[in-house]
Amino acid sequence: MNVIGINGSPRKQWNTATLVAKALEGAAAQRAATELFHLYDLDFKGCTSCFACKTRGGKSYGKCVMNDDLAPVLEKIAAADALVIGSPIYFGTVTGETRSFLERLLFPYLTYTVPYGTLFPRKIKTGFIYTMNVPEERSKEFGYEQIFKTNERYMQLLLGPAESLCAFDTCQVDDYSKVVIESFDPIHKAQRRTEALPLECKRAFELGQRLAGAESITA
């Protein structure tokens, strides 16, 4: 069992990265081999719509032709048994790097057939982890739920079962007094990090266990 973790946050030791790491710990507790990649460490672009992955008889049919830092990561995912993708929510959606990663991961496997199909040869499980500074009620008002379900739908179509874990109302910085960020109550945010983050870490650990376990993941 091999589980790949993707951190789509520019931070390596904050909310998103912490939860992705916990999910990999959960997978490792099930004796899975794990590997973590930080997208912001990689030099890559999103899909350029060259259609090399869809050219009839082409050498790159079903595979992204771009040769950059993301290419070997995509190769490892193709051979993996499960995948954890974490991203904070920036301006109502995942980070730019996460979006570019998803384009490069999924588009080569998509077939424009009737109905749409996939060239991915098997099924792997995926767990999405999202962190955001808004409470759950506000996230629904903003329509975030639709974004999460859209990502799950594409993953289910092309790679296999998927589920999402959301961490709401997260603490953004260590010291709110150092930044102009008066929209948030620093005392409340510090309390959330003290009280909620350990619970979210537990949920992420359990997600990793499910990804690496024999039981079916919740779609």
pLDDT tens-digit profile, the chain (219 residues):
999 999 999 999 999 999 999 999 999 999 999 999 999 999 999 999 999 999 999 899 999 999 999 999 999 999 999 999 999 999 999 999 999 999 999 999 999 999 999 999 999 999 999 999 999 999 999 999 999 999 999 999 999 999 999 999 997 888 787 888 888 888 888 888 888 899 999 999 999 999 998 554 444
R_g (Cα) of the chain, nearest Å = 18
- Cβ 60 vs Cβ 98: under 8 Å: no
**pTM summary value:** 0.92
CATH architecture of the domain covering 2-212 = 3-Layer(aba) Sandwich (3.40)
Break the chain into its structural domains and give their ranges.
Answer: 2-212
